[in-house]
Amino acid sequence: MKSIIIASTSTVHGSGSLEYLLDELKVHFKSADEILFIPYARPGGITHDEYTAKVAEPFKKIGKTVRGIHAFDDPKKAILEAKGIFTGGGNTFVLVNQLYKKDVLSSIKEAVNNGTPYLGTSAGSNICGLTMNTTNDMPIVYPPSFKTLGLVPFNINPHYLDPNPNSTHMGETRETRIKEFHAFNTQPVIGLREGSWIEVNGENVTLKGNLEARIFEYGKAPYEIPTNSDLKFLM
């Protein structure tokens, strides 16, 4: 049974890394003593080792060890044998580029479809959608494709940010960007605010956390849905 947490962010303001999610993660990863970590998104350009060490800290609090995929000779095998998988945030272009280079997208999909619990935050959540076309990241490298895992049949926009009514900046708002996305693409987009996540349990797909999410469907005005909403209507 598929078991996935697709989180907007690893960290909410004023709290430690993954802290707001730890109670959930205890349950989510109950059958895993060790988590396979995919550090490819390299936030701020840090190394895979540095990133893995950083992520090990919050997991230690719930009694889990963390091992980075870069420490394995055979990354595909590491994925298929993992008891739990976490892909962290950073730059989605860097992440997707490396996932293609290592040719592991299909392995992750296979493992998750076979029931390996998966956690994604930010860039690691973007890749759960059909494509990475709704990332907020800067395109600092050119990946072979924007196609991603398609674990859910829509796209994710993590760190969703409401327009600032006082801004004098002329750059596009997030809502304008997603509207532009729908001039060229038809799949729905979920704007996930920081502190929200999507929980996939088998056939059930539910919005979690304290906040509403903003839904962008092709040809419709965007609208809000409350937490605990069933997202099956988008599927």
Helix (H), strand (E) at residue 78? helix 75-81
- Residue 208 in tokens: 């979690």
Helix, strand and coil percent figures for the chain, each rounded to 5 = 30, 20, 50
Distance CA 221, CA 219 (A): 7
Q: Does 199 bind a copy of itself (CB under 8 A)?
A: no
159 given a catalytic annotation: yes
Find the binding residues for a copy of itself in span 113-132 (CB under 8 A). 132
Distance CA 224, CA 70 (A): 39
Distance CA 34, CA 64 (A): 5
Distance CA 84, CA 86 (A): 7
Question: Of the residues 107, 122, 125, 196, which is catalytic?
Answer: 122
Stretch that binds a copy of itself, among 43-51, 77-85, 198-206, 220-228 (CB under 8 A): 43-51
Q: Does 140 bind a copy of itself (CB under 8 A)?
A: yes
Q: What is the largest CA-CA distance in the chain?
A: 52
122 given a catalytic annotation: yes
Q: What character string, x for contact with a copy of itself (CB under 8 A) and - otherwise, covers 69-98?
A: ---------------------xx-xx----
| One-letter amino acid for residue 50 of the chain | E
Our CB check for a copy of itself shows the closer of 184 and 226 to be 184
Q: Does 43 bind a copy of itself (CB under 8 A)?
A: yes
Active-site amino acid positions: 122, 137, 159
Binding-site ranges for a copy of itself (CB under 8 A): 9-14, 42-45, 90-91, 93-94, 132-142, 145-146, 159, 161, 168-172, 176-185, 194
